[in-house]
Copies of this chain bind each other. A is one copy, B any other.
């Protein structure tokens, strides 16, 4: 056995990450039967092949440009324009990009490989960050005795309406129903109460990747489903200060992930009391503005105080020999984030994926017009792919000969692949290829005469990916900032919300005031942003002074 016999497997894993996705078959969009009724949209015709690339071209620019121009004809048919019907647009993308499908039980979804690969990207980044901040993964049982939930009054009140209950098992009626976890604070406390004895056992910093169930009334793929995948962090600390620091640290981890990886310029802040987690003292949130300007709560971090600790007797002997309840946090981010990515970056041609999350960062499309070209073009394309894979870039080469380049352009645009590389016989002859950016349609996003020499090619692709990552974020920031209105009266708020925008202004109302705003406008208090003006203002609703700035918006 060689002295690093297990290292190749780990190195291979990095390279193989997404490997099968990158190399895998992927069926023609629209080729599968589909339960259209449940997606609330009419049957979508199969994407048409674009015939352009089958024609002879004289010039590289002409040739590549036409391939791209024609593509619009194909994908527009499958995806409803955003402006026409945003909700249909969203569902069309989920279906056509094969991100998810409906399960047989109401409100459930099947996450298909391309959608799951985006989730794997989310997991990859977050898991590394959790570990870097000192957390360890663990796994707690999914079935929770119903009596556990009853121990924390606010918690059970918040979750009771949505619970799924196992009442029979092993052919018998159970004495006590078991809850299919909607979240794990109660189970975690049952165990923490056994594990924590002394201050030396603290802090306890755990995370769990798993599934949860909430029997929701109105569901939508990724955004709200009966079952979803998520991670839930659970920590216990000796002091209130440490717990508060942890809760804020983890919302910071979510914010950094959302901004730097998912390209979603979320607003981080504190939830109002009535919007907080059932059982928390304080809930922090990241709120993203979607393409229809509705807010999406994309991750939350809770300072649970001693609420669960007192209910479950999770206490420790402090340095003075006194029994004290632990101070706790919990924090979660779910497959909902996939929906946030779609709705932040998608356009009428389909998905646009930030390179850091894209399962396929670069697709290479060979252009062969006659059989004689095939060998030399494929050989050059394979070399380019190998170059990028060696540089840890997730690259797919689409070698299918029975699909035209134009069809492939459509397909990968719809699937949001950030960079396309086109290689034709002329390119091979000139040792230069063409790249196209997903975020800049047409010629504008193309670079001609890109050297196929490994180092130069890799550097060009790296630059493109970084530029796309940054430009998607900047576009989303500009959109967000153009759609937040500073308000100083309730009428201002009503107008802003009626226009579909976010309203930001000083707020000192009580719970009842907040409910009234919601009833009258359908807008909810999304958060008190961490980023506050230097001076407190006068509440636009109650006229009270010393008001903290809040954001109100319609939300998912």
In the complex, chain B residues whose CB is within 8 Å of the CB of A81? none
Answer whether residue A399 sits at the interface, using C-beta atoms and an 8 A cutoff: no
Answer whether residue A134 sits at the interface, using C-beta atoms and an 8 A cutoff: yes
Q: Are B164 and A165 in contact (CB under 8 A)?
A: no
In the complex, chain B residues whose CB is within 8 Å of the CB of A136? 20-21, 24, 113, 116-117
How many chain copies does the complex carry?
Answer: 2
- Closest Cβ neighbor of A193 among chain B residues: B33
Q: State which of B133, B166, B187, B210 has its C-beta within 8 Å of the C-beta of A166.
A: B166
Q: Are A27 and B142 in contact (CB under 8 A)?
A: no
Given the complex of chains A and B, what is the CA–CA distance between A165 and B392 in angstroms? 45
In the complex, chain B residues whose CB is within 8 Å of the CB of A171? 160-161, 163
Q: Are A110 and B165 in contact (CB under 8 A)?
A: no
Given the complex of chains A and B, what is the CA–CA distance between A211 and B141 in angstroms? 10
Chain B's nearest CB lies how many Å from the CB of A148? 7
Answer whether residue A252 sits at the interface, using C-beta atoms and an 8 A cutoff: no
Q: Are B124 and A13 in contact (CB under 8 A)?
A: yes
Report the count of interface residues on A (CB-CB < 8 A).
108
In the complex, chain B residues whose CB is within 8 Å of the CB of A128? 9, 12-13, 16-17
CB-defined interface of A379-392 with B at 8 Å, one 1/0 digit per residue?
Answer: 00000000000001
- Closest Cβ neighbor of A26 among chain B residues: B136
Given the complex of chains A and B, what is the CA–CA distance between A213 and B124 in angstroms? 27
Answer whether residue A157 sits at the interface, using C-beta atoms and an 8 A cutoff: no
Q: State which of B116, B164, B194, B261 has its C-beta within 8 Å of the C-beta of A138.
A: B116
Q: Are A12 and B167 in contact (CB under 8 A)?
A: no
Given the complex of chains A and B, what is the CA–CA distance between A34 and B34 in angstroms? 52
List A113-163 residues whose CB lies under 8 Å from chain B.
Answer: 113, 116-117, 119-120, 124-125, 127-145, 148, 160-163
Answer whether residue A515 sits at the interface, using C-beta atoms and an 8 A cutoff: no
Q: Are B194 and A35 in contact (CB under 8 A)?
A: yes
Q: Are A139 and B229 in contact (CB under 8 A)?
A: yes
List A93-123 residues whose CB lies under 8 Å from chain B.
Answer: 101, 103-105, 108-113, 116-117, 119-120
- Closest Cβ neighbor of A135 among chain B residues: B20
Q: Are A116 and B130 in contact (CB under 8 A)?
A: no
The dominant DSSP class at the A interface is mixed
List A64-88 residues whose CB lies under 8 Å from chain B.
Answer: none
- Closest Cβ neighbor of A9 among chain B residues: B125
Answer whether residue A3 sits at the interface, using C-beta atoms and an 8 A cutoff: yes
Q: Are A104 and B148 in contact (CB under 8 A)?
A: yes
Q: Are A112 and B138 in contact (CB under 8 A)?
A: yes
User: Contacts A136-B116, A463-B3 hold; do A130 and B20 have CB atoms under 8 A apart?
Assistant: yes
Given the complex of chains A and B, what is the CA–CA distance between A229 and B7 in angstroms? 25
Q: Are A105 and B165 in contact (CB under 8 A)?
A: no
User: Contacts A33-B197, A104-B187, A206-B113 hold; do A168 and B164 have CB atoms under 8 A apart?
Assistant: yes
Given the complex of chains A and B, what is the CA–CA distance between A34 and B191 in angstroms? 10
In the complex, chain B residues whose CB is within 8 Å of the CB of A130? 20
Q: Are B32 and A201 in contact (CB under 8 A)?
A: yes
Q: Are B201 and A180 in contact (CB under 8 A)?
A: no
- Closest Cβ neighbor of A133 among chain B residues: B20
In the complex, chain B residues whose CB is within 8 Å of the CB of A295? none
In the complex, chain B residues whose CB is within 8 Å of the CB of A31? 197-198, 200-201
Q: Are A113 and B101 in contact (CB under 8 A)?
A: no
Answer whether residue A539 sits at the interface, using C-beta atoms and an 8 A cutoff: no
Given the complex of chains A and B, what is the CA–CA distance between A275 and B261 in angstroms? 48
List A1-49 residues whose CB lies under 8 Å from chain B.
Answer: 1-7, 9-10, 12-14, 16-21, 23-24, 27, 31-35
Given the complex of chains A and B, what is the CA–CA distance between A95 and B21 in angstroms? 40
Q: Are A105 and B137 in contact (CB under 8 A)?
A: no
Answer whether residue A462 sits at the interface, using C-beta atoms and an 8 A cutoff: yes
Q: State which of B19, B32, B105, B170 has its C-beta within 8 Å of the C-beta of A195.
A: B32
Q: Are A194 and B139 in contact (CB under 8 A)?
A: no
Q: Are A143 and B108 in contact (CB under 8 A)?
A: yes
Q: State which of B7, B18, B144 has its C-beta within 8 Å of the C-beta of A131.
A: B18
Q: Are B132 and A20 in contact (CB under 8 A)?
A: yes
In the complex, chain B residues whose CB is within 8 Å of the CB of A162? 170
Given the complex of chains A and B, what is the CA–CA distance between A148 and B9 in angstroms? 39
In the complex, chain B residues whose CB is within 8 Å of the CB of A143? 105, 108, 164, 180, 213, 226-227
In the complex, chain B residues whose CB is within 8 Å of the CB of A12? 128, 132
- 9 A–B contact pairs at CB < 8 A? A2-B466, A13-B127, A32-B201, A33-B197, A103-B187, A104-B190, A161-B170, A165-B166, A166-B167
